[in-house]
Chains A and B, each alone.
Chain A
Amino acid sequence: MITLLIAVAIGALTLSLLLSPIETLGWWAGWYGEGLEHPHEASHAAYRRIGGDKEPRQFVVYLDGIAKVGAENYDDVQGLLNQLDAALPRAVILGDLMPYSVRNVGLLDERPLARFWRRMFEYKLAGKHSLLAFSINIRNLFQVLVAADQRYGPVYGRGEAQVMLTSLLRAGYVPGSGVPITVLGYSGGVQIGIVAARFLKRALDAPLTVVSLAGVMASDAGLDALDRLYDLRSPSDHVPLYGRVLFPGRWPLARGSHWNRLRRDGRLVNVVLGPMRHNGSESYLDDEAFANGAEVDNQTATATAIIAVLGEIEGSAVDAARS
């Protein structure tokens, strides 16, 4: 019985892996019926900005981790974005993209398996059947692998750049204005931001920075398009190390890789956060964590670090404009 269950699980995972590039490639090939110029009109996100109108000096696009299901954010994520919005009066925060779909279609929207994902999402919210609910993370993790694959990555990047561009334009971004754009990614969302960077830079020709919160990323050509990459992580979180081990371009031996060029050019800035786990309780976004026997607010600590980085990016842009 156990052998059968394991066989079924392996079969399901293999099938899921095999089908994972289809959405990206099918979109590119025009199999979904929509053009390349627009994400899926009927089901795309509302492209809402967080907070009210601002005179922007920076646009921040947030790409969530692999637990994301659609436009709506989890409470802890929304809490972080609200803190950023409140602390940065000249930054427009966009946080409702679905990074794991080049069409920006959430798992609960128009999809053949939407009912299944709705059920898994209910389990996730209720904290029930955690192994089954984890299928959402696995599905999105496979999209990170699609983005990291040198065959599929450029297509993924082009699609995701289009989604981000649409979001920016609808939020009032003026192409050619030179207002800096920052992609703030969490976990696997960083990889998605990096593959889109090359196309986004080409489209807007504005300063482009990626802020990685516990990011898992490969050495992708998109890194060449970045002015800087801020790598925020806790030494007690080992998940970002998977990227360092699994992607050969991140190894120090690969001296000519995009990642190692980023390091050598001084465009990589490491920011060490306090003791935090990758997800769940005591994670970066936990607002009721415990450390050393004392109650702490990791979410605020994380937000403070990100705000400092975003403030630095805004400051450099102002300095650059003055000079």
Chain B
Amino acid sequence: MMLDLETAIALIRDTLLLQPGTTELLRLGGGALRLAFYVLLAAGLSEAVGESVVLFVNRVSPRRFAISLLISAFIFAFGYLFFALSVYLLARYALRIDVPFSFVAGMVALGQAPRLFGYLSFIPYLGLPISVLLWIWSVVATIVGVAEGLSLAPLEALLTVALGALILVSVQRTVGGPLIALARLARRQAAGVPLVTNRREWLELIDSAPEPGLAEPRVRARRRPGRKPGGAA
């Protein structure tokens, strides 16, 4: 079943406005589920655009920049599908709710609709608070969807989503290591350069390779605890 444009827009709008009734269409599967996954992919792409400063700072070429954005969108989508899997397992085995995985995945995917605005985090100075707000908004949208779809009280839905996230993080840090490494490798291959992502290394990169006139950055001497700098031993 294909969704018409009007229904598709209404479904996304209702999710953004945290309105009830969004899971009814997902329960039918087909077009609504497909739409939810398109939303997830588009949200991933939008987030990747918002965070593209990493690609610029690492001096990625325009062609590889575009490829990197697409790869990041897929990695984002896969990440949320794994999150959906942990919510599904909780619903099935802890809460004894019999729902198909595709339905839970659709709920989680549609809950990321607020992050369709993720590109706004590229805005200077205001971008970081915007990205935090979008993240909170998408968490709330996911909780609203899970509460409705699994017929849970809001607090139960909150706990389910929080536990789902906890399981995901635990799995990522243990058996999920190879998948994380694979995602990193895919990002690096797409960018064509080793990607520096943490702030300290980032500043070192900007400080490095001095052009004529700019001197080498000085390596700061590390102080030993309990000793005054420069003082006699």
Identify the A interface with B (CB < 8 A): 14, 17-18, 20-21, 25-26, 28-31, 35-38, 142, 145-146, 148-152, 154-155, 158, 161-162, 165-166, 169, 175, 199, 202-203, 205
Give the chain B neighbours of A151 by CB distance below 8 A: 53, 127-128
Minimum Cβ distance to chain B for residue A11 (Å): 13
Known: A25-B53, A26-B56, A28-B59. A152 touches B211 (CB 8 A): no
Residues of B within 8 A of A37 (CB): 211-213
Closest CB-CB distance, B25 to chain A, in whole Å? 29
- From B6-14, B69-77, B116-124, B150-158, give the one contacting chain A: B116-124
Which residue of B is nearest A158, CB measured? B206
A201 CA to B125 CA in the complex, in Å? 25
Write out the residue numbers on chain B whose beta carbons fall within 8 Å of the beta carbon of A202: 207, 214-215, 217-218
B215 touches A205 (CB 8 A): yes
Quick one: CB contact mask for B197-233 with A, threshold 8 Å, 1 for yes? 0010011001101011111011000000000000000
Q: Which residues of A contact B218 (CB under 8 A)?
A: 202
Please give, as numbers and ranges, the residues of chain B lying within 8 Å of A161 by CB-CB distance: 214
Question: What chain B residues lie within 8 Å of A175 (beta carbons)?
Answer: 213
Is B214's CB under 8 angstroms from A21's CB?
no
Q: Mark B85-115, 1 if CB is under 8 A from A, else 0.
A: 0000000000000000000000000000000
> Which chain B residues lie closer than 8 Å to A36 at the CB level?
209, 211
Any A CB within 8 A of the CB of B57: yes
**Contact check: which of A29, A149, A169 meets B125 at CB < 8 Å?**
A149
Minimum CB–CB distance for A27 against chain B, Å: 10
CB-nearest residue of chain B relative to A20? Answer: B124
Query: In whole angstroms, what is the CA distance A21 to B55 when docked?
Result: 13
| Chain B residue total in the interface (Cβ 8 A) | 30
Other than the given A158-B206, A202-B218, 6 more pairs (CB < 8 A) read A14-B120, A28-B206, A29-B61, A145-B124, A151-B53, A202-B217
Given contacts A21-B53, A25-B57, A155-B57, contact A142 B124 (CB under 8 A): yes
Shortest Cβ distance from B143 into chain A, in angstroms?
28
- Judge whether A28 and B211 touch: CB under 8 Å: no
Residues of A within 8 A of B62 (CB): 31
Asked if A29 and B123 make an inter-chain contact with CB atoms under 8 angstroms apart, the answer reads no
Please name all residues of chain B whose beta carbon is closer than 8 Å to the beta carbon of A169 when the two chains form the complex.
213
**Is the Cβ of B213 less than 8 Å from the Cβ of A152?**
no
Q: Are A21 and B122 in contact (CB under 8 A)?
A: yes
Question: What 1/0 flags go to B49-86 for Cβ under 8 Å of A?
Answer: 00001011101111000000000000000000000000
Can you list 14 contacts pairing A with B, beta carbon distance less than 8 Å? A17-B124, A21-B122, A29-B59, A29-B60, A31-B62, A36-B209, A37-B211, A142-B124, A145-B126, A146-B124, A148-B124, A149-B127, A155-B57, A202-B218
Minimum distance in angstroms from B168 CB to a CB of chain A: 27
Which of chain B's residues have a CB closer than 8 A to the CB of A150? 128, 199
Chain A, residue nearest B218 (CB): A202
A25-B57, A162-B214, A165-B214 are contacts. A18–B123 as well, Cβ < 8 Å?
yes
Contact B206 A155 (CB under 8 A): yes
Q: How far is the CA of A155 from the CA of B57 in the complex (A)?
A: 8
CB neighbours of B126 from chain A (8 A): 17, 145
